[in-house]
Chains A and B, each alone.
Chain A
Amino acid sequence: EDGEFLGMKGLRGQLGRQVADQMWQVGKRQASKAFSLYANIDILRPYFDVEPVQVRARLLESMIPVKMINFPQKIAGELYGPLMLVFTLVAILLHGMKTSDTIIREGTLMGTAIGTCFGYWLGVSSFMYFLAYLCNAQITMVQMLSLLGYGLFGHCITLFVTYNIHFHSLFYIFWLVVGGLSTLRMVAVLVSRTVGHTQRLILCGTIAALHMLFLLYLHFAYHKVVEGILDTLEGPNMPPFQRVARDVPVVSNAVLNTTAKAVALTL
């Protein structure tokens, strides 16, 4: 009598079920639409559409500054090369940290390396894009990412050589020549896409400073950590701060140095 009549209860129950069902369907449809819109990997597909010869050509071109500054220079908007270069830099950094026995207290070696490299690539690209927006330069975000990413090729070469062969003067030469060449290329591209002396100066000064300083930082940050720890461990009788590379595994260093000398001799 009191709603115990099966028909009525059945109807209310059925209605409730149907409403719940409908809400579930609508919610599911909305969620899958949002997912397919934002988490769709196909958004990135055009930026990975490259051939190996193109990547090789772009790597070599990133070291060659082009003097044409009256007409916007072409920048390839591709992300495969820059991404691979950032990962290569991470691998080289790890190698450098391992051979200098860097000890990171809070965190892991891997986290530091990935954070540094990706932070530089994404952070400085965003900052330069913002500056370019302020200075009315003709460059898109993807082009900026691509330009800076390929500029890391010089960093990779320099660090690869100088983490293995520990002569400070060699590092300074590489810093000036290799780092300078890749910075000059980026500067030339940015100048060709900007109008006005002040704007050009701002953009190029910023990127040159950041790029060269980053290379300096990568080279010295990990040696300095080692030297600081050694100084505290060896007590107050140590002579003051020496710019000498220490703490490399003797054997691997000897092997690599003799290999380098042998290669130099055969060349």
Chain B
Amino acid sequence: FPGLADVSISQDIPVEGEITVPVGSHSPDEDYSTLDEPVRDTIMRDLKAVGKKFVHVMYPRKSSALLRDWDLWGPLVLCVSLALMLQGGSADSKDDGGPQFAEVFVIIWFGAVVITLNSKLLGGTISFFQSLCVLGYCVLPLTVAMLVCRLVLLAGAGTVSFIVRLIVVVAMFGWSTLASTAFLADSQPPNRKALVVYPIFLFYFVISWMILTFTPQ
């Protein structure tokens, strides 16, 4: 080490300082505590978060809880249950289990991505995953409508049942659109809300149409 040959420390300047590195606030403690807690606690915490978001969707108020801690569990559960319930509803039931499921999945996720990109391009202040989270959670009223439709179809498939299903689906479609608009339109400049609401309207319209035209075999 030739460069260090001429370094010398004179005897009367004490070398002092801190050797210990200050520990960052309490994040290591949090990590350890969530790692060490029983699995049941973790699952219950996540389930409670998802449940709280469901409540926010059913009673849309101007709260930011849905936006702040986004998660995609709820949308996944809703999407899968909707896709499962929509299976087997075509004329040829012997080979149509697959495409129906894939169709619904692709529509929901592709549609949500497109709406998110559109709202970002129009100058929205919301992030990608927050928007996906809101759109996914607002599929909840339509899933409820699907459940009701299936129950009504068990009782028969005549005109009365069609009218009941039509009313239920239209009501839930309106609810979904209003709920998601309440969360998403706030992040847009005020004179462009209509431009963001239209794709959301189209998205839920397509899903509602799939629910309404479902006829089991």
Contacts and interface: CB of A to CB of B under 8 A. Distances in A.
Contact of A251 (B107, B159, B210): B159
A52 interface: yes
A108 B103 contact: yes
Interface in A214-256: 249, 251-252, 255
Nearest to A114: B110
Contacts of B194: 52
Interface residues of A, number: 30
A101 B162 CA distance: 18
B162 A109 contact: no
Nearest to B102: A108
A80 interface: yes
A33 interface: no
A91 interface: yes
B164 interface: no
Contacts of A104: 99
B122 interface: yes
B129 interface: no
B165 to A, nearest CB: 10
A108 B210 CA distance: 14
B202 A94 contact: no
A209 to B, nearest CB: 30
A91 B206 contact: yes
Given A52-B191, A87-B202, A91-B205, A41 B117 contact: yes
A99 interface: yes
B92 A103 contact: yes
Nearest to A81: B195
Interface in B142-161: 158-159
A4 interface: no
Interface residues of B, number: 31
Interface string A71-91: 000000000100110011001
A50 B209 contact: no
A110 B192 CA distance: 29
A181 to B, nearest CB: 23
A88 to B, nearest CB: 6
A55 interface: yes
B167 interface: no
A90 to B, nearest CB: 8
B65 interface: no
A48 B122 contact: yes
A84 B206 contact: no
A203 to B, nearest CB: 31
A110 B209 contact: no
B215 A249 contact: yes
A3 interface: no
B72 interface: no
Given A52-B191, A80-B195, A251-B159, A94 B106 contact: no
A255 B170 CA distance: 15
User: Of residues B120, B158, B215, which shows the largest number of chain A Cβ atoms within 10 Å of its Cβ?
Assistant: B120
B102 A87 contact: no
Contacts of A98: 209-210, 213
Interface string B53-66: 00000000000000
Contacts of A55: 195
A109 B101 CA distance: 12
Nearest to B197: A52
B121 interface: yes
B209 A94 contact: yes
Interface of B: 90-92, 99, 102-103, 106-107, 114, 117-118, 120-123, 158-159, 162, 191-192, 194-195, 198-199, 202, 205-206, 209-210, 213, 215
5 contacts: A80-B118, A91-B209, A110-B103, A111-B106, A251-B159
